[in-house]
Amino acid sequence: MNKDFLSVADLSRERIFKLFALAADLKQRWKSGRRGAPLAGRSLALIFEKQSLRTRVTFEVGIVQLGGRAVYLAGNEIGLGTRESVPDVARNLSRWVDGIAARVYAHATVEGLARHATVPVVNGLSDFEHPCQALADYFTLWERGVDLGSMRLAWIGDGNNVCHSVILAGALVGASMVVACPPGYEPNAGVVATVRKLGGKLDITYDAREAATGADVLYTDVWVSMGQEAERVQRTEAFSRYQLNETLVGFAKPSALLMHCLPAHRGEEITDTVLDGPRSIVLDQSENRLHAQKAVIFELLGGSLDDA
């Protein structure tokens, strides 16, 4: 792994499976009561420009479970890029903490932090990628015994930051993927090119039923993300045929698993009966954000299993 984890593309196929194994080990150790402190004395700064439930709690709890501590810094508290420049924040934090996790609006911000920090920087979400989410997603499927190399994953909805990370990770693990979205909402062309350069099997369609047909996994996300509120009416109309509901699920395999990165706008991109149904694994995904991120910070901050 590089010094930082800003993009799924920072990983190799070998590294992503090693992280799965490490996450499983750390998860099992914690649940069985073997609660060592491999990162004792280490600290992780959490820079959050955006609101958060899962990302904040899982990073804070994760570093504590590994024996370290977190320092939470809200964007308006430090004035990232306004009161103080991104390079100056990165350089100062590098003198005090052992790592930085940042949940930001612009991907350029997390790139700037990584460029100027001497400690590892983890992308906790940007407008371009959400690599920790995708790592947890595929770890969840791997943990359930899904053959990642033979499965078909259908992404239904916006070709957004989460979609970017999901299709990049899918390329690394060998999954076959299809993205169904309205015209104009396709994933970034550069990301698609990288997926194909990595050998990824990816199709893009405007037909949600075509994408769902024969799928092993159906995945969706909100139609209107933070910062896109002014586009709500336009987006709701554009995505109205892309709701993950009982009818669409019926085109997938009977054993298909249903995924959502949360938070969900119930009744918009997904119905209650699908989100809360027996094939939904959204809470497993949510729980595994904790363990997948523990694996990332364990590796980046130089943990040892002898101390775990």
What are 255-269's pLDDT values in tens digits?
Answer: 999 999 999 999 999
Report the distance separating Cα 107 and Cα 223, nearest Å: 20
Report the distance separating Cα 26 and Cα 13, nearest Å: 20
Q: What is the mean pLDDT of residues 50-72?
A: 97
Residue type, 71: V
Assigned domain for 136 exists: no
pLDDT at 75 (0 to 100): 85
14, exposed or middle or buried, with CB in 10 Å at 0-12, 13-18, 19+?
exposed
Tokens of 294: 């523990």
Assigned domain for 140 exists: no
The residue annotated as part of the active site, out of 56, 116, 130, 291, is 130
pLDDT at 229 (0 to 100): 83
Q: The pTM is what?
A: 0.96
212, exposed or middle or buried, with CB in 10 Å at 0-12, 13-18, 19+?
buried
Range of the domain at 39: 8-130+288-307
Mean pLDDT of the chain: 96
The residue annotated as part of the active site, out of 4, 137, 158, 221, is 221
Assigned domain for 139 exists: no
Give the rounded percent of residues in the chain with a pLDDT score beyond 70.
100
How many CB atoms are closer than 10 A to CB 240?
Answer: 11
The residue annotated as part of the active site, out of 103, 235, 260, 291, is 103
Residue 289 bears catalytic tag = yes
Pairing status of strand 217-220 against strand 152-156: parallel
Assigned domain for 1 exists: no
pLDDT value at 114 more than 90: yes
The residue annotated as part of the active site, out of 261, 285, 291, 293, is 261
Residue 221 bears catalytic tag = yes
What are 128-157's pLDDT values in tens digits?
Answer: 999 999 999 999 999 999 999 999 999 999
Directed axis angle between helix 131-143 and helix 282-300, to 10°?
110
Residue 130 bears catalytic tag = yes
pLDDT at 306 (0 to 100): 81
| Whether residue 240 sits in one domain with residue 121 | no
pLDDT value at 74 more than 80: yes
Residue 65 bears catalytic tag = no
pLDDT value at 1 more than 80: no
Residue 291 bears catalytic tag = no
Report the distance separating Cα 121 and Cα 6, nearest Å: 7
> Could you tell me the CA-to-CA distances from 21 to 17, 53, 114 in Å, in that order?
6, 26, 26
pLDDT band at 44 (very low <50, low <70, confident <90, very high): very high
Residue 103 bears catalytic tag = yes
| Whether residue 254 sits in one domain with residue 155 | yes
Helix (H) or strand (E) holding 291: helix 282-300
Number of folded domains in the chain? Answer: 2
Alpha helices in 97-155 (DSSP H): 107-116, 131-143
- List, in sequence order, every beta strand (DSSP E) within the chain: 43-48, 69-74, 99-103, 121-125, 152-156, 176-180, 201-205, 217-220, 257-260
pLDDT value at 277 more than 80: yes
| Whether residue 237 sits in one domain with residue 178 | yes
The residue annotated as part of the active site, out of 158, 289, 291, 293, is 289
Judged by DSSP in three states, 182 sits in coil
pLDDT at 228 (0 to 100): 77
Q: What is the mean pLDDT of residues 183-197?
A: 98
pLDDT at 231 (0 to 100): 86
Q: What is the mean pLDDT of residues 52-61?
A: 97
| Whether residue 264 sits in one domain with residue 153 | yes
Assigned domain for 2 exists: no
Report the distance separating Cα 269 and Cα 241, nearest Å: 9
Between 95 and 76, the more confident residue is 95
